[in-house]
Amino acid sequence: MNADQFMRGDLVLYIPKYANGNGQHPDCERGIVTSTDDKYVLVRYRGMAASQATDPCDLKLIERPERTALNPRAAWPFPERKK
């Protein structure tokens, strides 16, 4: 996959190259896409304060939350910061 195929809020699975596509490998990690650029997908993994630049070839899309008129923020699961 290319970085432009991911959207903010997507739930993804990181599969390291040495796992040879095995999504059950113990080093696989779930995360949430926070943004993308031309080359990388920025993913916030569990327990990390900041997003990590990840090669899109190492990611598998698990779920893309549906955005609706009643729930336009459904694709962004993190709470907003208070100002």
In a domain, 9, yes or no: yes
What are 28-79's pLDDT values in tens digits? Answer: 999 999 999 999 999 999 888 899 999 999 999 998 877 655 555 554 555 5
> Any long-range contacts for 77-81 (C-beta under 8 Å, 24+ apart)?
77/9, 77/32, 78/32, 78/44
CATH at 58: 2.30.30.30
What pLDDT, on the 0 to 100 scale, is given for residue 66?
Answer: 72
In a domain, 55, yes or no: yes
CA distance 43 to 45: 6
Residue 27: pLDDT band by 50, 70, 90 thresholds?
very high
Domain limits for position 7 = 3-63
Please compute the mean of the pLDDT values over residues 14-37 and round it to a whole number: 94
CA distance 61 to 15: 11
pTM attached to this predicted model: 0.76
Tell me how many domains the chain contains.
1
In a domain, 71, yes or no: no
In a domain, 76, yes or no: no
In a domain, 68, yes or no: no
